[in-house]
Chains A and B, each alone.
Chain A
């Protein structure tokens, strides 16, 4: 699918971002009459230009947006801040931008776009714990912000605080209970928590049981989701390996592992589906093209580790 300036995917591959940014001269010289999609296009073009280092075109987009919506618009303020972050050449200039954000927030503490920019800037400057504190403050007065919760989860996750990351992800699920990617992400975090929790035995098993269920739910919601199958395969493989030393489970409101036969069948299902996805997307079959190549490669790797021929 050709990239479009009307959408702003979270992860744009560099090649596609470049493709978008190269449309800048055409878009910027476009007709003067205002269309429905015009400003979304400008905003995404601005982001694509920043990503590819074309600060000049980005500044032009910024000027147009500012001329249309005025410098007091919260969203425009955030984009302006993003631009000055990108143009800052050393840490001192970044500090200046940060001071600017603080000044804006002093006047209007509910300016969410600027609050989020400030957090992102703190994080990219390496002040992770400051960023986490600011995020927690933001979430205290706006606990229905899924974006902020998932950012917080990611922050905790990079610091190895798995149970906090899990808590934040669960909040995201409360806001959008059918997001299969979040279910799978939660499964991934739980799997990693199980991997690092040492030989706790009980807690490790709890994490694994819930991870298994999260992956299963994610597949139930989207039955072609590669990451869901990948995670399911990981968990089942590990569970089958450790079957012998499974402790007796107690029912204290936690999820319990299904019986070994079910795990085996889930393992078969994940293997079959993964190899199907890998096969089809390697052949670039029609209808199987949407997968990220790196994810497919990782799935192939996993399958060959387990000694399964494609």
Chain B
């Protein structure tokens, strides 16, 4: 039985010290730098004026009433509902009542929303620029050869990922090149950053990308027409069929509790 000979490649042990370590250290340092840069660039959340707060919280008030109406008796729920529905429909809580019904304001013309977008741009830039730089640095200096062998076997599919830039068809996928070490660092340094900077750091780009994708549609963001929100909420409130958690509470209590 012919055994597949174990591939051995004689590497200069110095590769380890001059490539692997530098890449890792540079990655960690950029992560730390990015964290502090984004802390510095963060602008304080913008102050809302009293009318804007009133608008937002009144809407929340309506949502709360819709969600927790069961804590009230039917009569007190009905009075609240009537008052809120009238106020919502007449636009009493709007920040600027005369703009009601004019449809969506253009988000680009609103200076406050521009600021939010600038903040997002800044974050994106802080992520993209260092990544491009490091990647071109690695490509310029360290491309084209393998630097280490992973201590565990891998399937052939990993070849294109781990041996990027090496283009040798028959080489075992366990051998990896410097650019793949770079990718491993991108994905694997999260826990290192957590350890160094605390768990809510801005160093890891992965977390930021996830956050960008999974963010819920903003409730009070730019481009949302508060008048429409109020009308929709009024409609939601109007259709509620009231029940109270206090109905039959005595029976439930007597069944549930034994001394």
Chain A residues with CB under 8 Å of B76's CB are 167, 170
Residues of B204-253 at the interface with A, using a CB-CB cut-off of 8 Å, are 244-246, 249-253
A220/B49 in contact, CB under 8 A: no
- In contact, B254 and A265 (Cβ under 8 angstroms): yes
Contact (Cβ within 8 A) B254 A266: yes
Known: A110-B53, A143-B61. A173 touches B253 (CB 8 A): no
**Which of A142, A210, A252 sits near B54, CB closer than 8 Å?**
A142
- Shortest Cβ distance from residue B58 to the other chain A in the assembled complex, whole angstroms: 6
Distance in Å from the Cβ of A220 to the closest Cβ of chain B?
Answer: 5
Contacting pair B73 A141 (CB below 8 A): no
List, in ascending order, chain A residues with CB within 8 A of B78's CB: 253
Specify the main secondary structure of chain B where it touches its partner: helix
**Contact of A258 with B by CB under 8 A:** yes
Complex Cα distance, B251 from A252, in Å, reads 21
> Which residues on the B side are within 8 Å of A252 (C-beta)?
75
Interface size of B as a range: 35 or more
Task: Determine whether the beta carbon of A213 is less than 8 Å from that of B70.
Answer: no
A255 touches B253 (CB 8 A): no
Q: How far is the CA of A253 from the CA of B60 in the complex (A)?
A: 26
Which residues of the other chain, A, contact B254 by a CB distance below 8 angstroms?
A: 262, 265-266, 269
Q: Could you mark each residue 152-179 of chain B with 1 if its beta carbon is under 8 Å from any beta carbon of chain A, else 0?
A: 0000000000000000000000000000
Cβ-based interface call for B122 (8 A): no
Instruction: List A166-211 residues whose CB lies under 8 Å from chain B.
Output: 167, 170, 173-175, 177, 210
Instruction: Give the distance to chain A from B107, nearest Cβ to Cβ, in Å.
Output: 24
Judging by beta carbons under 8 Å apart, are B253 and A109 in contact?
no
Contact indicator B246/A210 (Cβ below 8 Å): yes
Give the complex CA separation of A177 and B70 in angstroms.
8
**Interface check B257, CB cutoff 8 A:** yes
A144 touches B73 (CB 8 A): no
Q: Does A51 contact B (CB under 8 A)?
A: no
Q: DSSP majority for the A interface?
A: helix
Instruction: Using CB atoms, name the residue of chain A closest to B246.
Output: A213
**A223 close to B246 (CB less than 8 A):** no
Closest beta carbon of chain B to A156's beta carbon, Å: 15
* 0/1 string, A68-110, CB within 8 A of B gives 1: 0000000000000000000000000000000000000000111
Q: Are B259 and A174 in contact (CB-based, < 8 A)?
A: no
Residue A272 CB within 8 A of the other chain: yes
Residues of B within 8 A of A254 (CB): 73-75
Which residues of B89-142 are within 8 A (CB) of A? none
Known: A110-B47, A141-B53, A144-B61. A223 touches B257 (CB 8 A): yes
Measured between beta carbons, the chain A residues less than 8 angstroms from B249 are 213, 216-217, 220
Q: How far is the CB of B259 from chain A (nearest CB, A)?
A: 4
Are B71 and A170 in contact, with the CB atoms below 8 A? yes
Given A110-B48, A269-B253: A255 and B57 interface contact (C-beta under 8 Å): no
Nearest CB on B from A206, distance (A): 9
Query: Is A220 in contact with B252, judged by CB distance below 8 angstroms?
Result: yes
Given known contacts A254-B75, A266-B254, A272-B259, is B57 in contact with A144 (CB within 8 Å)? yes
A40 to B207, CA, bound (A): 29
Quick one: which of A108, A174, A273 contacts B68, CB cutoff 8 A? A174
Given contacts A141-B57, A220-B256, is CB(A175)–CB(B250) below 8 Å? no
A253 to B76, CA, bound (A): 9
Interface string of A117-156 (1 = CB under 8 A from B): 0000000000000000000000011111000000000000
B54 with A140: CB separation less than 8 A: yes
Contact A269 B257 (CB under 8 A): yes
In the complex, the 7 A-B pairs of residues with the closest C-beta atoms, listed nearest first: A141-B54, A253-B74, A213-B246, A177-B71, A177-B68, A143-B61, A272-B259
Q: Which residues of A contact B (CB under 8 A)?
A: 108-110, 140-144, 167, 170, 173-175, 177, 210, 212-214, 216-217, 219-220, 223, 252-255, 258, 262, 265-266, 269, 272-273, 276
A-B contact pairs, 12 of them (CB 8 A): A141-B51, A174-B65, A174-B71, A174-B72, A175-B64, A175-B68, A213-B250, A216-B250, A219-B257, A220-B257, A254-B75, A266-B250
